[in-house]
Structure 1
Amino acid sequence: MYLIIVGLGGIGRNLVDIATKDKNDVVVIDQNEKRCREIAARYDVLTILGDATQKSILEEAEASRANALIATTSDDAANLMMSLTAKGLGTKKIVAVVNQEEHVEMFKEAEIFLFENPDMTVASHLYFSVKRPKIKDFLTVSGGKAEIFEVVVSPESPVVGSRLSKLRIKGGLVVAIERNGDVILPRGNTVIQTHDLVTIFAKAPEVEEISLMFAP
């Protein structure tokens, strides 16, 4: 893929690392000359020193042929402006970081794929990792109305030895089971075993109760 990454803060630098390791063609835009020099010395990327809200800078980056532009700056107004400009130039996919919750609707109205407040996402993840230690990993979806989470079945769980068809999981659905390194697509006759890593999709209010079924 041909990717344009705007902003060389923490998110932008990590994106460059991931994208180049995956053998993508990467163009980086930033207004900080030192950051541009450092990233160019470390990675095989094209760096452009400039303001990506300016059409001429995006044209220099050949946004018209880019598979995607990812806007990662801490300025929501700038992220929105460059996203709209790139969209007008024909960039196929636009993704933007939205730092302030009150700006989310503007990005949605512009039909720009967004990643909301990364600092709050990290903070929430850390907090719930402490609050719900039995849950191994989780992802919030639908604006926090639902979660996809993983939990390891404990020997004390009442569901051990039960078929999925016999379990009453209110507001949730088992979508995958990892057992001894193999991934199982669960069916009604799938039997839950101790130490299974179970992936569950559930409505947010039901997560606590469902997780306790598998790991009390």
Structure 2
Amino acid sequence: MKILIIGGGVVTKELLRILNLKKNQAVIVEKDPNKCADIGSKYDVIVINKDATDISIYTSDISMPDLDAVLALTDRDEVNVFALTIAKLYNIPLRLARVKDPKIAELIIQLGLGIPISVPAVTADLVKGYLESIREPQMLGVFGDYKLFRITITETDKVVGKSLKEVDLPPDTYVLFIFDGINVKIPDKDSKLLSGNQVMVLTKSDDIIKVFKG
């Protein structure tokens, strides 16, 4: 997976520590040269020492169409929204931003820019969970004949924009809840699966990836 990470702070460093950088290619954009030097010396990643609002990053420094994910993890909401906006223009499958203002988080959802994570402490494990479940469901556990999966919905998925009643779920399959980055909802048959939603699915089926991803 090719990942662009905006910001070189604590969350980014922790994420790099737990990511498998042999399987994932990461590019970090950070304006502080000291942080750039620190990250570059510790991790096998590409580091770009520029402000994330510098448009040349997206037009010259990085091949945006090749990216699988853009993670905006700075402590500035406006910068993170800017990064998601650029990512949406390039139809990057996974777009995630750390936000402090709940109103900004709601705006990100309304505009379809991506996934806002507005929890008191954005953790690297939470971000890693999104990355791991973007391409295929992540199995979290086995309970008798049932398996519990975490699935992140992207714009290219078979089920995006559909309500649960429009999805041909296998027998003995239950969508337990939907997380939009702000709220956890217990869905009903009219609940829609939107890009950026993370869903928990309990099922006996081994083909759940085909149902959601196509």
The TM-score normalised by the length of structure 1 is: 0.54
Point out the structure with max Rg over C-alpha: 1
Q: Deviations over 1:159-181 (max 9, x none)?
A: xxxxxxxxxxxxxxxx59xxxxx
State the 1:48 CA deviation: 0.2
Q: Secondary structure at the match of 2:51?
A: coil
State the 1:92 CA deviation: 3.1
Counterpart in 2 of 1:27?
27
Q: Deviations over 1:45-99 (max 9, x none)?
A: 0000112222211231222211111001111111111111122234332111121
Q: Secondary structure at the match of 1:119?
A: coil
Structure with greater contact order relative to length (CA < 8 Å, sep ≥ 6): 2
Counterpart in 1 of 2:114?
113
d(CA) in 2 for partners of 1:26, 1:121: 19
Q: Deviations over 1:152-211 (max 9, x none)?
A: xxxxxxxxxxxxxxxxxxxxxxx59xxxxxxxx6xxxxxxxxxxxxxxxxxxxxxxxxxx
Counterpart in 2 of 1:63?
64
d(CA) in 1 for partners of 2:37, 2:115: 28
Report if the CA contact (8 A) 1:8-1:30 is conserved.
yes
Counterpart in 2 of 1:11?
11
State the 1:32 CA deviation: 0.8
State the 1:8 CA deviation: 1.3
State the 1:144 CA deviation: 4.2
Within 5 Å, give how 1:82-97 maps onto structure 2.
Answer: 82-97=83-98
The TM-score normalised by the length of structure 2 is: 0.55
State the 1:15 CA deviation: 1.9
Counterpart in 1 of 2:103?
102
- Mark the CA change 1:140 to 1:66 in structure 2 (over 3 Å): closer, same or farther: closer
Higher helix share: 1
Report if the CA contact (8 A) 1:20-1:26 is conserved.
no
Report if the CA contact (8 A) 2:105-2:118 is conserved.
no
d(CA) in 2 for partners of 1:121, 1:69: 16
d(CA) in 1 for partners of 2:86, 2:92: 9
Within 5 Å, give how 1:145-184 maps onto structure 2.
Answer: 145=185
Q: Secondary structure at the match of 2:37?
A: helix
Instruction: Tell me how large the CA RMSD over aligned residues is.
Output: 2.8
Counterpart in 1 of 2:46?
46
d(CA) in 2 for partners of 1:121, 1:20: 20
d(CA) in 2 for partners of 1:99, 1:22: 32
5+ long unaligned stretches in structure 2: 124-176, 187-201, 205-214
d(CA) in 1 for partners of 2:9, 2:119: 12
Report if the CA contact (8 A) 1:97-1:116 is conserved.
yes
- Mark the CA change 1:91 to 1:141 in structure 2 (over 3 Å): closer, same or farther: closer
d(CA) in 2 for partners of 1:140, 1:65: 28
Structure 1 counterpart of 2:13, which letter? R
Counterpart in 2 of 1:136?
none
d(CA) in 1 for partners of 2:82, 2:6: 12
Report if the CA contact (8 A) 1:70-1:96 is conserved.
yes
5+ long unaligned stretches in structure 1: 123-138, 147-174, 177-184, 186-216
d(CA) in 2 for partners of 1:121, 1:70: 12
